[in-house]
Each structure stands twice: as structure tokens, then as C-alpha cells.
Amino acid sequence: MNYIKNIAVVLLAFLVFTGCDDEDFTGHSSLTPTGGVTISVSGLPTSPLSFIEKDTTLTFTVELFPAQIVDVPVYISQSAGDASLGSDFTIDNNNSRVVIPAYATSGTVSISIMADTEAEGTESFTIKIGDNKTDNGTVTSVEVSFTIGNSTSSDMILDLSWSSADVFSSDGAIYGAEDIVDIDLSVYDDAGVEVFSAEEAGTFETASLDALADGTYTIAANVAGNLSLEPGAILPIVSLQMDYNQLGVQSGSMPFADALDPNQVCSDNELLIATLVKTGSTYELKREGTLWLLPSEPSSLVGSFAGQDSNIQGLGFVGTSIIEGSISDGTVQFDGINQDFMVSIWGESVTTSAPVTLDIDFATGEITIAEQFIFTTDYNGTAYDYTIYGTGRIEPCQLVLEYEMNQDGFLVNEWLINNGYTTDEFFTAIVAYP
């Protein structure tokens, strides 16, 4: 009997000391959550956020701070507006709530905008994220507002979105595609004049085309801005997708993999998405996919341009010449090429100089630099005349010039190669333009 009693005592002690380990961290937890919990929303850069009425879903993130030791269900409800939950929009989460698991700091919410055939004015609604029903945490609610514009069968709606690999900053922050690049959606007429532009900073773009006159148009997207990271950081290439929808008539998607480089910010870093012919309420779309457009007007190169000149591999030299540009009758001239190298590395002062003429074929983007005088230098009281010749090309946002310096048959870059100072075949100047 004593042996049986001892077993019973040990078993009772085990149950007493281990019974609480069945805590599942949910519902009416026996653990105490941290006070002062705050909620924020990411993925919605503007409020109110505008939509054209169509079947579409927006997913964004609800963030909680600090993390809790229990699950935190955050309830979502409509707090204002004349749009109707269930018919104009839906909150696509279980029981209109997002559950942020124990020790986690975020969960996702999906809002769907629903299309219908009724002629309606602009509607609006506001959702409240977090309220007094929230368990296991005391939170301050966040409100986000939306507007819904009417869509009809005579309208064509375009939605431009993009995706890329995530970017991780040195402080541990994670940036997605909408964070790293801002892309504008533009419509041009057959004369190349921009007649419509969707320029919502930091978010995907939507365009309604019913106001366009009959005619032929091009639809394009360009890089308008990017995320400023640590010096030398390279942003990942961005893929695009344009969805189109004409209510009850046609709809579809045009994806473009690896379409734009967010590291280049200018109007010419552009993807020609499609051509459009509009006749009344008939829209004919033809996919294009040209990765970028050459400048159609040489006047886009007029102005003062800052360029990196004479980046000499092996010497560790990156020139900082300021290159002035001008144009007359389609001929581009630049002044200042190579002067920083001549003074800082070659050790000769420039006494006189002349602009370098560039012959640019705007149909192909190819550049020719015919041999011509560029400057006279002084070295220990002796004057030396230099000529320049080479080739180049127009790239998105920049001109790349590859050239040689000739001093009465003495080729400067060839000498640098032959004497082991560099492996670069040419001097290079990279000249940015707006």
C-alpha cells in the first residue's frame, strides 16, 4: 500500500507542476499580454485610396507593436461612407478580422471592390481596423478611407502593377516593389503628346479612358522615382503587369517580365506597353513590349548635364567633369569632356578648348564622334593639341560615349593600356540627361 501511495503522490505532483504547460496562447489566455499595443497599416500610401468600380482586390498589411505572447484578433468594420459592405465591397477575411499570431507582428487584410451595371455616382467608405472587440491587447484603432468611381461598358479601365525581389536595408527594413520604385502610367496621342498620366506616388496606377477622343494612342510606363538606399546599392529589376477591363466586353492582362530598371530615373526609362485604337466605345489594344523608347525630340538633350568622365579602371580614377550640352539643327555639342583627367591625372592644364560635336541617329540611338579638335594643353611651357574621336549610344536617361584622345599620333588611352595602367579599351563618359 505504501508503494501505491508513493506512486499517487508523484503523479499528483507531476499534474500540479505541468498542468499549466497546456497553455495555447489563444482566447482567454492565462498569460498577460503587454499593454500599450499600437496598430499601423502598410501597403496603403494614400488615404482616401481611389478605385474605379471593377472586380479587384487590394491586400495590405496590419502591423502590431510590440509583439504579444498571445494571438491578437484585430477586427475590421465599416465606420462611415455610402458604399455598401457586401454589394459594393467586401472584407475578405474570416469574420472580418485578421489574427496576428503570438510573437508575430503582422497579418494581411484583403478588400475587394465589386463591379455592377448600375449607373452610380462616386461612392466612399471608411474601414476601422481594431476596436473594442479586440481580445488579448488594448489597441488604438486605425481608419482607412476609399472612394469608388463608376464604371460603364463604354469605359476602358487600365490597372498597372509591378513586382520585384525584396530589398533589405542595412538596418533590417524590408522593401517591396511599391516601396523601391514609383512608376507612372501615360497615354500619348499619335503625335507623341501626353494626353493622360496616372501619377499616384508610391502606389499602383489606375486609368479610365472613356474621356479620350477617337484616335490612335500609345500606352507607356516610366520610372518616376526610386528608393534612396545606401551608396552603391543596386535595386532589382522590376516586372510589370497591365490589366485591362471594359465592363461586359473584354478584359485581360499583359505581363512584362524584367521590364524596367528602377536605378535609372528619367522620362526615357520607359516601357511601351501597348497601342490603342479608340472608336466610340470600341477599344482595340495591341501588346507591344518595347523595353524603352528612344528620345523622339533631340531638344530633350538641351541643357547642362552632369557626367562621370574618364572612369579609368586600374587607376581608380572617376572623373567629375561638368559637361555642358547644346543643340542646333539636330546636332548635339558637349563641352568639358576629359578635362578633369587631363588636369588631375595627365598633369596638363587646358588653355583652350572647343565643344565636341556628336552625330546622333535618333532612330537607332547610335552616336558617332568624328575626329576633331578638343583642346590645347600646357605642359612645362610647351603647348600640345589634342583631338578626340569615338562612338556612343543613347541609353535610358544617359548617353554613353567611348572615345580616344590623340595628340599628334600619340594615343593616350592606348599608352595607358600598353603600360599596364588600365584594361579599358576606351575612355568613357556617361552623361545623364532628364
- At 222-273, the pLDDT tens digits run 888 887 766 667 889 999 999 998 876 788 899 999 998 888 877 778 899 9
pLDDT of residue 193: 84
Query: Confidence band (pLDDT; 50, 70, 90) for 35?
Result: low
pLDDT of residue 387: 98
Whether 38-149 and 157-290 share one fold: the answer is no
Query: pLDDT tens for residues 61-76?
Result: 888 778 888 888 888 8
Q: Return the C-alpha cell found at 397.
A: 536617361
Is residue 350 pLDDT above 90, yes or no?
yes
**Other C-beta atoms lying within 10 Å of the C-beta of residue 199:** 11
Query: pLDDT tens for residues 187-222?
Result: 999 888 888 887 766 678 888 898 899 999 999 998
The size of the chain, in residues, is 434
Average pLDDT over residues 7-31: 40
Average pLDDT over residues 291-320: 59
For the chain, the structural domain boundaries read 38-149, 157-290, 298-432
Under 8 Å between Cβ of 33 and 137? yes
Helix (H) / strand (E) element for 409: namely: none
pLDDT of residue 66: 82
**What are the CB-based long-range contacts (under 8 Å, 24+) for 368-376?**
368/392, 369/401, 369/403, 371/406, 374/337, 374/338, 374/405, 375/339, 375/342, 375/350, 375/351, 376/350, 376/351, 376/352
The second-level CATH assignment, the architecture, of 157-290 is: Sandwich (2.60)
Tell which residue, 60, 118, 111, has the closest CA to residue 89: 111
Is residue 344 pLDDT above 90, yes or no?
no
Average pLDDT over residues 6-32: 40
**Average pLDDT of the residues of the chain:** 77
pLDDT of residue 310: 60
Could you tell me which CATH number the domain at 38-149 has? Answer: 2.60.40.2030
Q: Return the C-alpha cell found at 48.
A: 482616401
* 123 or 319, higher pLDDT: 123
Tell which residue, 410, 417, 390, 411, has the closest CA to residue 401: 390
Is residue 302 pLDDT above 60, yes or no?
no
Measured CA to CA, the distance from residue 343 to residue 340 in angstroms comes to: 5
* 242 or 320, higher pLDDT: 242
Query: pLDDT tens for residues 373-408?
Result: 999 999 999 999 999 999 998 877 778 889 999 999
Q: List the Cα angle 307/312/313 in 5-degree steps.
A: 130
Measured CA to CA, the distance from residue 164 to residue 166 in angstroms comes to: 6
> For cell 455610402, what's the residue?
82
pLDDT of residue 294: 57
Query: pLDDT tens for residues 107-126?
Result: 888 888 776 655 566 778 88
